[in-house]
């Protein structure tokens, strides 16, 4: 065990002396996990979209409208077409371009808040269909 000069303080220290100087801290590169991250962002959003799309159904029958919500647990609401007071359509700029909008159905038969249905394709056609059922056509 030889004695050498310390580069910081200049004192004589043994070559066998233990120092607490951290020389490097290394973690795996994010590139090592690239495919994990890529597939996470590639797979998870479509699964969420699929689940949300499957969890809602609007059915229009002669004289009635039915809403079904839920994937594992279900919630059903049924409205008599004559009880529907108003139908509102909200479309953003991009929604108008691609033909998608939100439909809000207000009924006179319930005290519950209006039923809002998001992302309906061709909402004007659905509104006209419900109005035709309300009028008995």
**Residues in the chain with pLDDT values less than 50:** none
What was the pLDDT predicted at 90? 92
| Total residue count of the chain as it appears in this document | 137
Q: Where are the domains of the chain?
A: 32-134
Question: What pLDDT, on a 0 to 100 scale, did the predictor assign at position 124?
Answer: 92
Q: Provide CATH code, domain 32-134.
A: 2.30.29
pLDDT value at residue 58: 87
pLDDT tens-digit series, residues 75-109? 988 888 888 888 899 999 998 998 898 988 888 86
- pTM score of the predicted model: 0.64
| Rg of the chain over all Cα atoms, to the nearest angstrom | 32
Q: What is the model's pLDDT at position 89? A: 92
Question: Which residue's entry shows tokens 């597939």?
Answer: 39
How far is Cα 102 from Cα 115, in angstroms, rounded to an integer? 10
């Amino acid at each position: 065990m030889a004695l050498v000069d310390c580069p910081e303080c200049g004192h004589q220290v043994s070559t066998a002396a233990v120092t607490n100087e951290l020389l490097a801290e290394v973690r795996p590169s994010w590139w090592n996990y690239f495919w994990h991250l890529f597939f996470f962002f590639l797979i998870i959003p479509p699964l969420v979209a699929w689940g949300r799309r499957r969890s809602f159904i609007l059915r229009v029958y002669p004289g009635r409208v039915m809403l079904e919500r839920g994937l594992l647990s279900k919630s059903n609401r049924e409205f008599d077409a004559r009880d529907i007071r108003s139908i509102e359509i909200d479309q953003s700029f991009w929604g108008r371009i691609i033909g998608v909008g939100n439909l809000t159905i207000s009924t006179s038969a319930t005290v519950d808040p209006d039923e809002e249905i998001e992302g309906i394709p061709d909402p004007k056609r659905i509104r006209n269909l419900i109005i035709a059922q309300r009028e008995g056509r």
